[in-house]
A and B are shown apart, each in its own frame.
Chain A
Amino acid sequence: MTDFGFKLSKSSAVELDKVDTTLFERLCEASPDARICMNCGSCGATCTAGPYSGMSLRKVLLGLQRGQDVRPLLSGCMLCGKCTMVCPRGINTRNLILNLCRIYD
């Protein structure tokens, strides 16, 4: 192959219209709250597991909508409920996490 001095690599852009959001939609059925996150970041900042697993519910919800694997984030969650306490939108975060853990495939 001719070396043109640059390579074509797969684009790192998210093809938003092609992302598989089935899991997110299923989560929304169980926890409609999942749709109302405004990405303020309170949950991630206060998260007890954050320093260990990088957990941030905001990232989990956004990641699901962008087709990312969020399992590593979720794995540290201790269900302590701090995110429920600080969420300005009043999302029932613990129930949402439990539902997500139930339906994840």
Chain B
Amino acid sequence: MTLELPIVERNGGASRRDLLKASVIGGGLVLSFSIAPKAGAAGAGAQALNAYVRVAPDGIVTIMGKNPEIGQGIKTSLPMIIAEEMDVAWENVRIEQADCDPKLYGSQFAGGSLATPMNWDDLRKVGAVARAMLVSAAATAWNCPSGECKTDAGHVIHVATGRKAAYGALAGQCAGVAAPDPKTIPLKNAKDYKIVGKAKPQYDTKKIVTGQPLFGIDVRVPGMLYATYEKAPVFGAKVASANLDAARGVKGVKKVFVVDGTTNLSGLLPGVAVVADSWWAARKARNQLNTQWADHPTSKQSSAGFNARAAELAASPPQMNLRKDGDVDAALKGAARTVEAAYSYPFLAHTPLEPQNTTAHFKDGKLEIWAPTQNPQPGRQLVAATLGIKVDDITVHMTRCGGGFGRRLSNDYMVEAAWIAREAGVPVKLLWTREDDMRHDYYRPAGYHYFKGGVDDKGNIVAWQDHFVTFGEGEKLASSAGMGGTEFPSRFVPNCKIDQSIIPLSVPTGPLRAPGSNALAFVNQSFIDELAIAAKADPLAFRMKLLGDAPLVGAGPSAYNAGRMKGVLAAVEKMSGWAGRSKLPKGTGMGVAFHYSHAGYFAEVVQATVTPATGAIKVDKVWIAADVGRQIVNPAGALNQVQGAALEGLSHALYQKITIEGGAAKQSNFGDYPLLRMAAAPPVEVKFVITDYPPTGLGEPALPPVIPALTNAIFAATGKRIRDLPIDTKQLKA
């Protein structure tokens, strides 16, 4: 049941860095310089310079957005990189969303905050090569060497004579011309950037604010019907009986049928499909089904059972060891002070606001799909394998996604739509209810950590022991349920032991924004805080000391740049006024935490106030210092991502929990699975610390530290330590 996804997996599977390396070195740059303009593409007469770029006679440059847009702003920021090197005026750029086409675009997915690091070099070359072709066309016409020409805002200029030609006039001369070798083409110096590093609104912002159809749910195809699909609350249970005729009797219903499905929890699960002339008719008919589900071996699973099993495992010898440095037992005995604590966090659902949907049309053996997906290529393969048709006979159009957060890396809804559309014989839009979404997710796995730690009398951590109880089958971990042996603070503590035990699980799990990190930062940065308090130290200074004096710890993919972390920690100390926190009123406290993930270094401070009578928490403010290298591609989008990720982390901490009962998810909608709303959203102040490292992604790494920064702030405010999420405010009553 582990999903094979191009995202961070800590134990087993390729690491994010491996994937990054494979993509960049192993032919990530796909330059198809001879393709013809797409039939029917905007800008008649436009000349394609490569798979990404078309130039029209009027100078309008159309750039393809290669990756799925899920709200991370990538449809805008990747074309900015191409436009910068091409030297075109941004107002003359038009962006089109590419279809799923790995032959033209290589990897196309939204995950792991990888789009910027994986595409930064390649797309700069795409733009630079296109520019070089236009310069070469002008130089040929002027009978001069290319080196005598410069470019500016969509024009080639002959420096000596001042002759000037517009890209639109030159592009036609590039037809059939071989592209130069990208290695021979110089890239711009960052100081000359006119687009990259400048705040650009999202390309689709006007369409968004005027309500134009952009999303998967808005797709309309002539002759299209609407479908709903009912699956068992117990994951994978088969249909025992359903009153299909009652559903067929509802006005507007066209087809009702049982789908046997497969046993693959990431694929087509068994269920009942209702197809009607409107979604509401299908939805009403579904209420008539009275579906009974066959017994299923996993129907006894429950969160209560997992909790009990975790406690048993904690009291037993661990099943495996992930890391052992020094002698933890001896160090604990010799420590000036020791702390022991048990932490836990729950399953979480993703709940992107646009419910899962896909429109599919099966005709003459070929399938056309319109889907809001983060991961179209595996989706296409899943559909091909399940329906028994060829991958090449499936076209996947990527629509804008109403949120992703990792949920749409799985394509279960895509394969359902494809199957139903083939059965229906007409185009079908499958749309899930919110309840379908919340009860059929690939949940962030729950987890348990049993810590022992010790400090010496100089404020150093001398012993760190974590018995991590997680989920899987045998020794194989559930998706996103793993922890590496290099997780901080290992390597920074001389005596360190990390063990692991596994509880069997048949609940589907998967990556949720900053997978692994969104839970591990909470437990590790909280327990570090406990040790700081035990050492009677300033929690921020204690962390600074823990990071040590070596700038780089470890090597290769697991290297940890302590120098960069100290840089953001120092920055957030200053921004937040940490030194003055003793002047805060009673009941108000500041907490700090940091975390490295997705190649980004983040340190965050939260100020929170707890009302003694009720235990109610008010988050007053969040400060974030971020280091993602030397270049922020689009500062407007970057700030939005960081603020949003931090506020999402507050939702995790304050509200969210999926409970498994009777093998099924208990929660079903935003009433019992709340999200942060305006009234609870604090200001989030962000500073990007610029360092001379390659630019990396921002979708995820801001999220993890905010959770322990909040729980540490609550400790500072109340003296009460939060060790289980979500926070139980009853425990905070004075």
A pairs with B? no
Q: Hey, which bits of chain B sit against chain A, CB under 8 A?
A: none
